[in-house]
Amino acid sequence: MVPERMAANRTAPAKKTPRRSRDPAPSRRASRPDSGRRARKGRSAARREAILAAALDEFSMRGFDATRIDDVARRADVAKGTIYLYFRDKESLFQELIRAMLTPLIGAIETLGEADMPLQVLAERFVDLFVREVYETRRRDVIRLILSEGRRFPKVAEFYYREVLSRMLKAVRALLRRALERGELADDTLIRFPQLLVAPGIVAIIWNGLFDRFEPLDVRAMMGANCERLFAARRPT
């Protein structure tokens, strides 16, 4: 009997709760989904850029009307259906090409127009911006396409005017109005016709595509000479 009582009085040993192993790197594990999303987003952006670059090549070589989505897909090395994931049709693809290539210039011109500098200095910077960011880049090909295709495809011309050209003209006119208020211009001719400032640049783009191999054109010098003549003729006496 004694052994039984003693056994009953014994306290059962407490069960040890197994210690939970600590995650050595919870932050790393939590960040993996974000890393995956960033990688997918990066691949999607790269694919979109490749499609736009291929579209510019095809439009430049064949023209807007003759270019097919199949041609763009082949050059971009993607399936035809992939292009429709990004762009509704050929026209929207061309419109996005205009926006992607030329819209960044608007901010640069607007910033230039807000600068408090003499008109002659602003003109020199404008010429440098045009040569460096348009004439010496593929943006030149986009503008040439608009010039050649805009008449046959009015929606393309309308899109370019609304998204790019009208905003550029507004910025240049604001710059010229301040110059007139400071007494750097004698009249408002250039405000009414700001196209006179960029006309040599458009001529240079056309010349480059047709005659540059016969007689190369110094577009920077030509645009600079144009500004000098325009401003000299309209400075207050």
Instruction: Of 106, 124, 150, give the one whose Cα is nearest residue 228.
Output: 124
| Together in a domain, 138 and 230 | yes
* Rounded Cα distance, 115 and 119, in Å: 10
Q: What is the CATH number of the domain that holds 209?
A: 1.10.357.10
Domain CATH code at residue 51: 1.10.10.60
Q: 22 falls in which pLDDT band (50, 70, 90)?
A: low
Which has the closest alpha carbon to 102: 57, 132, 53, 138? 138
pLDDT at 16: 52
- Asked whether residue 159 is domain-assigned, the answer is yes
Regarding whether 161 and 49 lie in a shared domain, the answer is no
Per the domain annotation, does 10 fall within a domain? no
Rounded distance between C-alpha atoms, residue 105 and residue 94, angstroms: 18
58 lies in a domain?
yes
The predicted pLDDT at position 32 comes to: 66
Percent of the chain exceeding pLDDT 90 equals 68
Q: Using CB atoms within 10 A of its CB, is residue 51 exposed (0-12), middle (13-18) or buried (19+)?
A: buried
| 3 occurs within a structural domain | no
Pick from 9-23, 63-77, 133-147: least confident = 9-23
* 25-62 pLDDT tens trace: 545 555 566 777 777 778 899 999 999 999 999 999 99
Q: Is the dihedral of CA 179, 185, 191, 196 positive or negative?
A: negative
Among candidate residues 87, 113, 129, the one where a domain is terminated: 87
pLDDT at 83 over 50: yes
Residues 82 and 118 in one domain: no
For residue 24, pLDDT over 70 is answered with no
Which residue range(s) make up the domain with 55? 36-87
Q: Are residues 100 and 82 in the same domain?
A: no
Say if 180 falls within a structural domain.
yes
- The Cα 135–Cα 112 span in angstroms is 18
What interhelical angle do 90-114 and 69-76 show, nearest 10? 70
Q: What is the mean pLDDT of residues 174-187?
A: 92
Looking at 87, 108, 129, which one is the last position of a domain? 87
- Position 113 scores a pLDDT of 74
Same domain, yes or no: 118 and 223? yes
Q: Are residues 234 and 215 in the same domain?
A: yes
The last residue of one of the domains, among 53, 68, 87, is 87
pTM: 0.77
Indicate whether 83 and 111 sit together in one domain.
no
Q: How far apart are CA 69 and CA 155, in angstroms?
A: 19
Question: pLDDT at residue 8 above 50?
Answer: no
Give the model's pLDDT for residue 28.
53
- The tally of domains found in the chain comes to 2
Within a domain: 135: yes
Q: Work out the mean pLDDT of the chain and round it to a whole number.
A: 86
Binned at pLDDT 50, 70 and 90, residue 5 comes out as very low
Q: Quick one: tokens of 67? A: 């270019």
Give the pLDDT score at 231: 87
Same-domain pairing of 199 and 142:
yes
Average pLDDT over residues 203-209: 95
Determine the pLDDT at residue 84.
Answer: 96
- Read off the pLDDT of residues 91-142 as tens digits, 9 standing for 90 and up: 999 999 999 999 888 888 888 877 778 888 999 999 999 999 999 999 999 9
Task: Say if residue 75 is exposed, middle or buried (CB neighbours under 10 Å; 0-12, 13-18, 19+).
Answer: middle
Say what the pLDDT of residue 27 is: 52
